[in-house]
Chains A and B, each alone.
Chain A
Amino acid sequence: MSDLSWLVPLPVVLPLSGAGLTLALFGRPRLQRVVSVVVLSAVLVVAVALLVLADDGPLVSEVGGWAAPVGIALVADRLSALMLTVSAAVVLCVLVYSLSQEQDSDQQTAPVSIYHPTYLVLVAGVANAFLSGDLFNIYVGFEILLAASYVLLTLGGSRERMRAGSIYVVVALLSSLLFLAAIAMTYAATGTLNLAQLAQRLPEIDPSVRLVLQVMLLLAFAVKAAIFPLSAWLPDSYPTAPAPVTAVFAGLLTKVGIYAMIRTQTLLFPGGRLDDVLLAAGLATMLVGILGAVAQDDIKRLLSFTLVSHVGFLVFGIGLSSRAGWTATMYYAVHHITVQTALFLVAGLVERFGGTLSLTRLGGLARSAPVLAVLFFVPAMNLAGIPPMSGFLGKLGLIQAGVAADRPLAWALVVGSVLTSLLTLYALVKAWNKAFWQTPPVPLPALRVPRGMTASTAALVGASLALTAFAGPLYAYADRSAAALVARTPYVDAVLSVGERGQGESADAAGAGDEVVPAGDVVPGGGGGGAP
């Protein structure tokens, strides 16, 4: 075990400390900006370091020095590190975007001073959810990021945001309660919440109880990931928020739910008993989402519906529960985070430039703002999956995995995903025709767009293109990650290894109170492989 495991808590610690600092610097916006940028850059550096280090095996850090089954472990394996790195890059881009928007705009639309602390708390919550090796800690991570998202979504407290925000908050609260109930039942059934120990104990409990736990956890995560029957809240609430907030929500929050689904499906509930349900839900999510997108007039709403639709692709990969499926899902998640965020940032630029997001009122942007047109066109085509770009590669991977699975439902998903790609192309080309090519009904105000906003959007679009250029190494990394997910033992062994890492007092505690419920048990020597 490398002694660099002290890096693991940093993506959570740094933003939280930064949040406290920016809150203390309430009246000094310039310092707030400096702190936020420095902190998020540091998080990005740490995340990249973890990405490299985790390739040699998961890094585990025990919070407070208590050994794994008793204490809370933070684990950075390949999957966590990959998601963390992409998230860190995206939040940094969005921060730069919102900074130049803030500097430039009038008080009405400018994010208030509370923006920085809340944004950093959101980042900490996302990082905590990705890194946590404990089910309850994942819940805490979710709550951190959700509480921050409530504040960001209702920033300014305007009528429209209160309306959309109340729906969002109630739905999120409901899913959190569901998650908490699932945690309580998991603990009652197994006596532990440590993911690695759960992986060992869950196979031993009654299969029908296990199924109930799986369904409840998946339901809780499905609300967060916006999977079809549970997705109606998303297109309603996201578009009302300020552009950078919508962008970071679209990029990250649903993916945290997807990450949690991947983790539980691979580590806790292998065997794929609910795969058919997931596949059917994925198909419905794709089709319903994209048909919703076709009907929209507002660009942000259109993009929100494509977001829902493309979550279906991720669920498709999860539902296949094969190594190829996981690999493609991971690559697709990375692609989708960058591209969807970039599109929402461009929507913010369009709103800034034209003063509206309505496709009816926009027009002629290709002539009046060619840079903007390029910035929209590239990620839009990428999202639709036009060949050389990363969207195509991700979809190709998913379709190959679907064909390899060779089940009727998988074939239905293959057809459905091709259809969804075509409809995505249709919806986005429609938006392109209207916003960029049609003659505007009334001339647009053609307001100045701050250079920093354009530059950060361009950086993100560039990053999404880099995903194509470096698709080989990235896909190989995702493949190694998927191999570890299938094997399960690397994760379990790393967390439960009895060795040089902090022992805490877990052994004593287990010895003194001999009737402590099994959470106090010391792990069998050698960490024992994954359960059969």
Chain B
Amino acid sequence: MIDMSPNVVLVIAVAVLVTAGVYLMLERSLSRVVIGAILVGNGINLLVLVAGGAAGRPPIVGASSEPMSDPLPQAMVLTAIVITLGLTAFLLAMAYRSWQLNGNDEVQDDVEDRRIAQLAARDERATADADIDDAGSTLDEDAEQAHDETDDQSRARPLPGAAGAIDDQSWGGGPR
């Protein structure tokens, strides 16, 4: 039976690294997020290593007469380290570019989202509509202006409703 019980110090190190990393990743500044990502990444790499069982033996066949330790987690950690390194470099480049452009490396909120939320808060429409922008006229006023049968070419079509006179223009046919 292999001794699979992990080293407690390593487990605590994983917990500390991930906790600190998550805290940093919640920051606004991209460079802090980068550091947070590095910490979490390293914590999880340690976790993979811990998953391989107790330390202390070579992961190579026939290196010693003792039983070997599992080489697979070590290979996986190597791969994961390389990937994390590459992505960290990319994030750093992004932080630098962001600083070049804006003078800071803040991760901003969704601007368009905020714009639409503000519109909603003021109870306005995102888009101006020719067919519903009736400038506050009442049904009676519209009815006065609507003519169902006239010589006017632009209003030759029968109108579906009171607002139809304005509606008609929005079909792309009427002169504006």
Contacts and interface: CB of A to CB of B under 8 A. Distances in A.
A509 interface: yes
A166 B91 CA distance: 8
A277 interface: no
Nearest to B171: A437
A185 B172 contact: no
Interface in B80-110: 80, 83, 86-87, 90-91, 94-95, 97-98, 101-102, 107-108, 110
Interface residues of A, number: 55
A185 B76 CA distance: 13
Interface stretch (B40-48, B137-145, B148-156, B157-165): B40-48
Q: B30, B102, B126, B128: which has the most chain A beta carbons within 10 Å?
A: B126
A439 B94 contact: no
Contact of B61 (A177, A298, A363, A509): A509
Q: A183, A514, A515: which has the most chain B beta carbons within 10 Å?
A: A515
Contacts of A359: 127
B51 interface: yes
Interface in B47-98: 47-48, 50-53, 61-62, 67-68, 70, 72-73, 76, 79-80, 83, 86-87, 90-91, 94-95, 97-98
Q: Is the interface of B mostly helix, strand, loop or mixed?
A: helix
B90 A439 contact: no
A439 B128 CA distance: 12
A438 interface: yes
B25 A174 contact: yes
A199 to B, nearest CB: 18
A116 interface: no
A275 interface: no
A151 B94 CA distance: 10
B109 to A, nearest CB: 9
B170 A515 contact: no
Given A154-B94, A169-B91, A517-B53, A180 B110 contact: no
Contacts of B40: 177
Nearest to B110: A236
Contact of B37 (A170, A512, A513): A170
Given A150-B90, A166-B30, A439-B130, A183 B76 contact: yes
Nearest to A437: B172
Contact of B41 (A150, A177, A188): A177
Interface of B: 2, 4, 25, 30, 33, 37, 40-41, 44-45, 47-48, 50-53, 61-62, 67-68, 70, 72-73, 76, 79-80, 83, 86-87, 90-91, 94-95, 97-98, 101-102, 107-108, 110-113, 116, 120, 126-131, 169-172, 174, 176
Interface of A: 136, 140, 143, 147, 150-151, 154, 157, 159, 162-163, 165-167, 169-170, 173-174, 176-177, 180-181, 183-185, 187-188, 193, 232, 235-236, 295-298, 301, 359-360, 363-364, 366-367, 434, 437-439, 441, 509, 512-517, 519
Q: Which 4 A-B pairs have the closest CB atoms?
A: A515-B67, A188-B51, A517-B70, A184-B48
